[in-house]
Structure 1
Amino acid sequence: MSASSTKTPRIAKTEPDAPHIGRIVPGYSVPVIDERAVRIGAGILFSLGLISFLAALVEGTSRPLQPFGMFFMMDMLLRLMAGDRWSPTLALGRLAVRGREPQWVGAPQKEFAWWLGFALALVSCTSMGLLSAPLWLTLALCSVCLTLLFLEAAFGVCVGCSLQARFGKQAPQYCPGGTCDVGGNH
């Protein structure tokens, strides 16, 4: 018997305690994510997007928006496909709030919001790249993205979370500021 045949085969374990997005925290019935880190990530994206938007406006071309659009789309895709731990902007957000008490919010509604962000980025990038849309249309689409990012970063308003409350299969839990329990979002 060779040494390799006596080894136990390595089997990747799928841990029920390790969600794809967010983390399991005792006392919470769904995976949660730190709202502070998410808001900083949104602020980083907003800042980069605003700089690109203004450059496009000044230059009269969508070229400055193209790298930002791809970065934004890839950041959202990483959050959704690989998990929030792999997003560069969320990693910077977690680094910025390291040592502070987390403000846990439900990860499922953030995932819904990130799908919305990815869809907006995909439409924007497709329109400015493949479809060669006029600059005004590209700027209008980017304005929607920037507005949503600004609302999240500055005020903690997650429009995607609100949409998930209205149209999602499951009501959101653990919303920022207790908004799940206010205003009929259940």
Structure 2
Amino acid sequence: MPNATDTAPRTGEHVDGYEVPVLDEHAIRIAAGILLAAGITALAFTLVSGSIRPLQTFGLFFLVDMATRILISDRLSLTLALARALRRRCRPLWVGAPQKVFAWWLALGIAAVSCVTMSAGIVPLTVTLGLCGICFTLLFLEAVFGWCAGCALHQRLSRQPTRHCANGACDR
């Protein structure tokens, strides 16, 4: 007989009134800002020092953080845990977890390609920096404007309806 922990989602939580697991949009946006700040800092150190090592370190951290959110639990993601701690006294803005997980898979894929190309030297550094620039742009859009490219793609590509988007975006 399954117990409550067997049916608990890895990502998100069940909240009364929501058909799908949900996450706090404000915490996600703060976590995106933390990742963006860390990434820009790593990029600056890379450009100043001439060494790719700071960007590689950030890329590995980003990969581990995204993989943890998706494959283990969003509760164990370092950036989301920090974001939740910063918001602990605020009311959450619940958004559907499925579209965020989809977005995180996309981010993980872009980051994995960036890390592999950066480490193996398969492509010129400018291509890798371009991929990093895409990630930084998407992080900026999420952190500052609350626009999630992965969520928008999920709405268009998923066979399941996208529910509980930030600012009612999936109701339009």
TM-score for both structures, normalised by structure 1: 0.87
Q: Secondary structure at the match of 1:64?
A: helix
Map 1:2-151 onto structure 2 (within 5 A). Answer: 13=3, 15=5, 18-151=8-141
Q: Percent identity?
A: 50
Corresponding residue for 1:3? Answer: none
Cα distance between partner residues in 2 of 1:30 and 1:36: 18
Structure with max Cα Rg: 1
Structure 1's consecutive aligned runs of 4 or more residues displaced over 4 angstroms after TM superposition are none
Q: Decide whether the 8 Å contact of 1:73 with 1:121 is kept in 2.
A: yes
Unaligned runs of 5+ in 1: 1-10
Unaligned runs of 5+ in 2: none
Cα distance between partner residues in 1 of 2:71 and 2:157: 22
Task: Decide whether aligned partners of structure 1 residues 59 and 137 sit closer, same or farther in structure 2, where only a CA change above 3 A counts.
Answer: farther
How many equivalent residue pairs? 172
Q: What is the root-mean-square deviation of aligned Cα atoms in Å? A: 1.6
- Write the deviation string for residues 52-77 of structure 1: whole angstroms up to 9, x where unpaired: 11222233442220000000000000
Q: Decide whether the 8 Å contact of 1:61 with 1:135 is kept in 2.
A: no
Corresponding residue for 1:162? Answer: 152
The amino acid of 1:141's aligned partner reads L
Corresponding residue for 1:8? Answer: none
Cα distance between partner residues in 1 of 2:32 and 2:76: 15
- Write the deviation string for residues 26-77 of structure 1: whole angstroms up to 9, x where unpaired: 0011100000111111000000001111222233442220000000000000
TM-score for both structures, normalised by structure 2: 0.94
Cα distance between partner residues in 2 of 1:21 and 1:48: 23
